[in-house]
Structures are given as C-alpha cells and as structure tokens.
A and B are shown apart, each in its own frame.
Chain A
C-alpha cells in the first residue's frame, strides 16, 4: 500500500487570465519507507506539494490519499489530527520554540502524540544527548536543526516532510543533520519527502522527482542511495 497516491493534483491561485498555476496535474505514488527527493528551482511547485501533503494547504483540483484515506476533502480539524498523528516536519529555519529547552521542544510534540519515544532518547539519536537542557539561543544552527529532527521523529511518524532542512547550514553541519535524518527515517521506516535546491543532496534519495513550472518533469530512480558523508556541495 503506497503511503501517498496523487491523482491529477493541481493548485491554482486566482482566476481567469491572472490565475497562477503553482501545481499542474501531478500524478505520483510514494511507497512506505521511501526517501523521495523533490528537486527544482524556486517556484517550481515542490514546496507547494510538500505543504499539501503535510495538510497545511489544499489542492484546488485532483485527489490525494494517505494510506487509502483521502486528504482532499478532509475538514480542518481532521487535518490537524492527521498532522499530529502521522506527520513530522523539519523546516529550513528550524522553527523551535525559543522559550523551551531542547528536551522541552521535543516534549511539546510528545504531549499530543500517541506512544512517542522519550525526548531524551530522540535527542540522543541525533547526537544531542548532552544538550538536553539548552535553550535554542544556546545552540548552534546545526544543533537547532537536529533538535528539530528529534522533535519530528520522536512520535515515530509515518511521514517526514523536510523543507530545505540544510538550506541555512554550512556543509559540515548540513551533513551531520542529514546523517541524523537518514538514520532515523530508515530506522522507523518513515516515508520521507525532502525538498531541496541542491542537486547533490538528491543522491540521498531512493527516487528524485524533478519539478519545473508546477509539474513533474522527470522522476529518476537512484540505483544506490548515497551516504550523507559522501555528499559535496
């Protein structure tokens, strides 16, 4: 059973001649446990797709199912529950709550999750076992992003959605974050979709979906997934 099935999914802003098509008739299936890289220039539709899959936005046409349940007609309340139960998010700018420590940022999500792993364990997985009680302001960018990874995976989500997770980081830090991400997504068999500009990062995925002008231009299958340490950018 695929995690996501997309049938002619479109997203249009505005009407008539002024309408902007952010996404055009996208068909896609994403298998459970797959690491899918969404690649493409700015405005090509990859982030829009990620947002729709995460239940943050809705398509204007087509249909999306998550484990055979349609997300298309799901009311707001259920979309919130969908995010709460199944989706882990990792953002380019970390989006940690500055008034909570690393441990508490993870606990924040654990409080509303079903059967999460202890926050300390999640932070240990991303190599931050010794930084549990630090506030975001006391952590480096890479460390903050790893807290975000821990926060996302602590509830053992079915889906991990990562929007430019290394976009604000330098190479070495970025690689450490990706290592953490790949490791935990593999361990929990989370279906992972990662948006990136970076063509080299694409080598991490099982498949690479190239976007252009709101549509899928090409889908490539990597014969072998590269390890984060092998990446260069």
Chain B
C-alpha cells in the first residue's frame, strides 16, 4: 500500500464518527432502493414468467349463458390463440369446526386435459377425476390457512343446493395470485376459497348443461387487444355479456400492478432524501479533514505532488465512504428484500416468490452512492486542489467572523459571550448549519410520516368498521329479492335488526371512458351502513342522480353536473343516462352511489334488494351461523369483526413491519446527522473549548458552547421537520391512493410529539457522547498548539 493511501485510512479513522454517519445514512437510503427496486423487479419477473408458463388470460368475458356453439366461434375469432369456455360461480362453504360460513369462487376445469388458458400449478395431490362430480382442487392459501389436506371434505351450498366436495389436490393459478372475496377490503385466506371442479358438476348445479358463462382468452403475439375485444363482443352479444375486458379489470392482476406502482414510488423518492443528506455529510466531513490538513497539503505540494494527485487523494476518501455505504446498502437491501418477499408471499400466491434483485439494481445503487459522495466531496476536493503550497505552510489566520455582525450581531449583543459564540458560528457556517437543520428536519419529517400512516390506517379502520358500517354481517343473495325477504332474515335466530342492501355491478360510460364499478344503493335513514366522507361526515345520497367517488369521477373525467351513461352488466343490459349530482370522498372504495329506491327503479327492479345488513345478538352468534349455513339463497356472508381483525393483523405484519424499518432509518438519519455535526463542531472548536477551560470556565459551561450550537440547530429543525413531515405525509398518502382506498392525511399530535421527542433524544445522545470529550480536553497542549 502506498504511504499516501495509509494516510487515507488514518484520516478516515480520525473522522470515524463522520465516516460511520455517512456510511449508515447512505446504507439506509440504498437499502430501501435495493429492496424496493429489487422487489419490484423480482415481482415483475415472477409475474411475467408465471403468466407465460401458465398462460394467464389476456382477455375475459362474463356471460349469463352461452351455448357450446359460441365457444367454437370464439376460439376461431381473429387474434385468439387459445380459449377456454368455463362455468364460474360463487358458493357458501360450511367448514367443520368453524362457526361462520366461508365463501368460494367456483371455477370449472375442462372436460379433458388441463386448461389451455389460466392453467394451474398443482402443489400437492392430483387432478380431479373428470368422471367424479365431488372431486375438487382448492387454492393453496386457503388450504394452508385452514390446514386442509388431501381427502378433507368441504360442505358447499352451490346455487342453493348443498353438496359435499372432496379435496384431491391443492393448486395455484395466475388468475388468483391475489385472492380476495368480492366486496372484501382485504384477503382473508381462511374465509375465501377458490375451488376448481369438474365442468359437469358445476353445469348441473348452475343449470348450464351444454352451455358456459365465462370465456377466457390468450391472444396471438402482436394481436390488437382492442380489435380482439370487438370480435369477442360481437360474437357474445346475445349471450348476456358484460363486455370483454383485459387484465386491467382482472382483480388479481389489478392489485399486482398497483403494488408494482407503489414499489416504484417508494424506490423513487425515499432513497433520494438519504442520498442528499449523505452528500451534505460528506461535504462537511471532508471540508473538515482538508481544513485540518491544510499544512500537510502544502507540504505534499511542496514535495512535488500535483494538484490533481492531492485532489484525487481526498476524493478517494469520499469514494471509500461511498463504497462502504453502497456495500452496506446492498447487503441490508437484500436482507430487507428477503424479509419483504416473505411478507409478500402471504399476499401474493405465486408457486415461488424469491427476492432476486438483478445486477443492474446493485450497479445503480453503487452509482448512486458514488454520485452522492462525489457531489458532496466536489467543493472540498476542488478546494484541496486550489490550495497554494506557500500559503498553506504559513500559519493560518483566524477564521473571519466579521460578516456575522448584521442581524446576528444585533441579536448577539443581548446574549452572554458563550451564547454569542454559538450564534456567530451558526451564522458564519451557514452551509453546515443548514445541513444539520435539514438533516434533523428530514429525520423528524420521516418520523412524522412513519407515525402518520398508522393514524391514517386507524382512522380508515375506525371510519369503515365503526362508523360507516355498524352491521355485524352483510349477506349477499344469489339474485335480487323482494324487500319482504328482510322479514325472513329478521326471523333468523339472533337477528336484532336488518337493513336492505342494493349493489349493482355496472359499467359507467363518459365519452371514451368506460369503468366497471359497483353502484351502491344508499338509504338516507340507514342505521347500519352509512355513506361517509373522508372527514367523517355522513353524506346523504343525492335525491336524484348519482354521487361518484372522486377517484372514479377522475377516471371518467366528469364533474358534478355532467351526465354519464350507466350500463347494467346483467340481464337486459339496460343503459341509462344519469346526472352526476355530487363528487364525494369516501375512504374506502371508489364506487358510485345512489338513493336505494331510485337505483332499484333505475334498474327496473323496484322494491328489490341484493342483500342485507344484519345486526346480531352476540349470544345467538352460533345459532345464527348454523342457520345461515343451511340458507340456500346466499352466495356470501361477510363478517365485519373477522374482516377487521384480518386487516389489522395483516397491517401489523406487513405495513407495520415496514413502518418499524422506516422508524429505525429515521433514527439513523437523526443520529447520523447529529453525531456528524457534533463531531465536526468539536473538531473545529477543540482549541477554543480548551482555551475556555484554561480561562476558568467549568466543564458544564464549556459543554454549553459545544452542545448549545447543536441544540439551537435542532430547535430550528423542529418546525421545519413538522412542515416537511406534513407535506411529505400528504403527498405520500396521495401517491399510495388506490382504487380501493383513499388515505386522507390525519393530524396525529402524538405522532408529531413522538417524532420531535425521538429526534431530539437522538441529537441529545449524540451531543452528550461528543460532550464527554470536553472532560478530556488537552489544556496543556492548547497553550502550545498553533491551531
């Protein structure tokens, strides 16, 4: 090793606190980058491979009833490379040992061979025998959640008929990577199953012998999806089609795409903060090294080292820090990525999902690290190159403070001399002061964000589960029923009160925009399920016209007062013109809302409802469920308590986990900035502080000069951090908005208090650790030292 390089390591060792701060802050930022980008790449690659190997449908169309002949025509349509005609439906499941009925999506398997579209990956067991009507496959998540194995049986109510099903295999499908019951906010793998079974058995249950009710397609390479869709629509127009749709309307893929988008968001913005702070920290640390090394630089140049060689020597210092940070970030990123993959495996059911970041992710991380330290080092390194040997060897002049006599001077005169030292140094070194303020403020901001998210989730859960929906169970009927059915429901054991539910799946049209959404009937005097805005206010359904969730209105490009077309997706597929009466901001869902009676009339089903909300007597919970499992007319029963606990659990395991990581990273940022600032302040002031000790100042008084500067900067950072945190939280909540949820910013005073207190404690610890050097100040040495 060259002598100069040995010096490099010793310089770094001398400034090790700053070096550790830079490496840690860089490491945090890059680990988020590697994790998010790596996870995104892994998820995207797994998705593409899975979709390709199992032939995920490009196009699908739901029908009321289509004769087999239609399938032949569809298979021959231009642009279609493979087609599967199948029967799908919903069923209630009665599971042994479980009080509440679960529900299932039923999907038929081909009469012969494997599905040519949406094939399955069998993870255990075997394929059902097509000749046996009771043999089925279930999805792996459901089997795992309930500990089901080969030979277990399920009691199902299929289209009103009870049937016993035997599990012979456990499978995954690209169609059900993300599995959630319709209308549920969150996956409840133990409450919702995908059941694949023989076509004949389903045909019999649904009276679809010689017919089918869904077709799924793979397109030929290069086919125009729009055109293929038009061909399909033309063929199925008399079969009660709701219109062919692409992957953007397939729920599982929609969730996946949304997840990929969020990962990209996270990768784009969070690491940037850490990289900026790292650049600042490098700048401060290197400027300090070069200041203390001034005479050495003069000496090196006097010996004949060129300006470039000297500059390169100090640049290597920064690059070494960059390399350490990048290595740290890469390692931690992979670890976090693997952690994240294990969380994802609970949500996204691929046959295999591993965190496997491609090489370019690491290359990008290292480039970003070198870019960050390079920018940070630039000014200091150029300064080292510019130092003239003669002046560097001469004794340094005291740092000029004459420029600090403005406002700070006026203010300073009211303070004691020690406080004046603090104030003048802050004003004299604005860039360094700003680094500390910004760094500490960003740490506070990140913590505010990290603490706002749980508050938003709490508000969301509270609004959805306690205020908006006060029913215990929502029942969904197979078909629309007369409102009188409520009397029957009220006669079920334990039912205290029942209210009607009316939900129609519709396609909303405006200009060239078409969106499939739920049209939800709202009842002004409803006691159980009420329509609520983001601010927690009850929203009355418009007496005439339709109210749209803001996200839906944006998708359609409409404002209040415009008119839209609403198309039924079943039956006679009526198309009606409706006025948009209001735009509202619900926290959950982005649906359309109407007065329930008006909606029933619009759908030409006056007095008919599609389900019921029920309030239960807890004492009769088991009896109610026993009865429910025997009720033929239901396709789903959603239990709010179960949904809420599933959501809270999965939040705690998934998002909660990530929150903990952000919390740690914010702490590292706060600690890193504070340690770095305290260390540099000490290095710069060591001589002055020792002089103060010599002059008779006590350790406490001298510590005040050292710690006071940091404390003052930290106090400046508090309001800045709160503002940054609020803006960031608002912005992030918007970014993370999905079709399903909108996250209004929630002011959480405890969160702010925590962010401020936590950061100030980090700063205080850093200050106190560095302060201990005051006890070891070399008073004798300072008398002899030139500076």
A-side contacts of B697, CB under 8 Å? 80, 84, 112
Q: Number of residues in A with C-beta < 8 Å to the partner?
A: 40
B694-A100 in contact (CB<8A): no
Cα of A56 to Cα of B779 in the assembled complex, Å: 6
Closest Cβ of chain B: how far from A100's Cβ, in Å?
6
Size category of the binding interface on chain B: 35 or more
Closest Cβ of chain A: how far from B6's Cβ, in Å?
27
Asked whether A87 is an interface residue with its Cβ less than 8 Å from the other chain, the reply is yes
Q: Which residues of A from 39 to 54 have beta carbons under 8 Å from B?
A: 47, 51, 54
A85-B417 in contact (CB<8A): no
Closest Cβ of chain B: how far from A29's Cβ, in Å?
24
Chain B positions 109 through 124: 1 when the CB is less than 8 Å from some CB of chain A, otherwise 0: 0000000000000000
Cα of A211 to Cα of B405 in the assembled complex, Å: 47
Asked whether B510 is an interface residue with its Cβ less than 8 Å from the other chain, the reply is no
Asked whether A136 is an interface residue with its Cβ less than 8 Å from the other chain, the reply is yes
Asked whether B211 is an interface residue with its Cβ less than 8 Å from the other chain, the reply is no
Cα of A56 to Cα of B693 in the assembled complex, Å: 9
B402-A137 in contact (CB<8A): yes
B399's nearest neighbour on chain A, judged by CB, is A98
A97-B421 in contact (CB<8A): yes
Closest Cβ of chain A: how far from B243's Cβ, in Å?
75
B398-A136 in contact (CB<8A): yes
B696-A85 in contact (CB<8A): yes
Cα of A225 to Cα of B99 in the assembled complex, Å: 109
Asked whether A220 is an interface residue with its Cβ less than 8 Å from the other chain, the reply is no
Chain A positions 74 through 88: 1 when the CB is less than 8 Å from some CB of chain B, otherwise 0: 000100111111010
A50's nearest neighbour on chain B, judged by CB, is B783
Asked whether B630 is an interface residue with its Cβ less than 8 Å from the other chain, the reply is no
A107-B398 in contact (CB<8A): no
A87-B696 in contact (CB<8A): yes
Most buried by A among B417, B692, B699, B780: B417
A137-B420 in contact (CB<8A): no
B-side contacts of A83, CB under 8 Å? 694-696
Cα of A36 to Cα of B400 in the assembled complex, Å: 36
A108-B786 in contact (CB<8A): no
B783-A111 in contact (CB<8A): no
A-side contacts of B68, CB under 8 Å? none
Closest Cβ of chain B: how far from A149's Cβ, in Å?
13
B-side contacts of A47, CB under 8 Å? 783-784
Cα of A91 to Cα of B397 in the assembled complex, Å: 16
B-side contacts of A136, CB under 8 Å? 398
A95-B687 in contact (CB<8A): yes
B-side contacts of A56, CB under 8 Å? 694, 779-780, 783
Cα of A166 to Cα of B697 in the assembled complex, Å: 25
B782-A95 in contact (CB<8A): yes
Cα of A163 to Cα of B783 in the assembled complex, Å: 8
B-side contacts of A97, CB under 8 Å? 417, 421, 688, 691-692
B417-A108 in contact (CB<8A): yes
B688's nearest neighbour on chain A, judged by CB, is A97
Asked whether A93 is an interface residue with its Cβ less than 8 Å from the other chain, the reply is yes
Q: Which residues of A from 107 to 138 have beta carbons under 8 Å from B?
A: 107-109, 111-112, 133-138
B-side contacts of A151, CB under 8 Å? 695
With A87-B696, A104-B420: A93-B401 Cβ-Cβ less than 8 Å: no
Closest Cβ of chain B: how far from A65's Cβ, in Å?
19
B-side contacts of A104, CB under 8 Å? 417, 420
B784-A137 in contact (CB<8A): no
A135-B400 in contact (CB<8A): yes
Pick from B420, B688, B696: contact of A112, CB below 8 A: B696
A89-B695 in contact (CB<8A): yes
Closest Cβ of chain B: how far from A24's Cβ, in Å?
19
A99-B783 in contact (CB<8A): no
Q: Which residues of B from 394 to 437 have beta carbons under 8 Å from A?
A: 395, 397-402, 404-405, 416-418, 420-421, 424-425, 428
A-side contacts of B785, CB under 8 Å? 93
12 residue pairs from A and B, CB less than 8 Å apart: A87-B696, A91-B782, A97-B417, A98-B398, A99-B404, A99-B420, A100-B401, A100-B421, A111-B418, A137-B399, A151-B695, A163-B783
Known interface pairs A99-B401, A100-B417, A105-B417; 8 further A-B residue pairs with C-beta atoms within 8 A, sorted by A's residue number: A56-B694, A80-B696, A80-B699, A81-B696, A97-B421, A100-B421, A138-B402, A168-B786
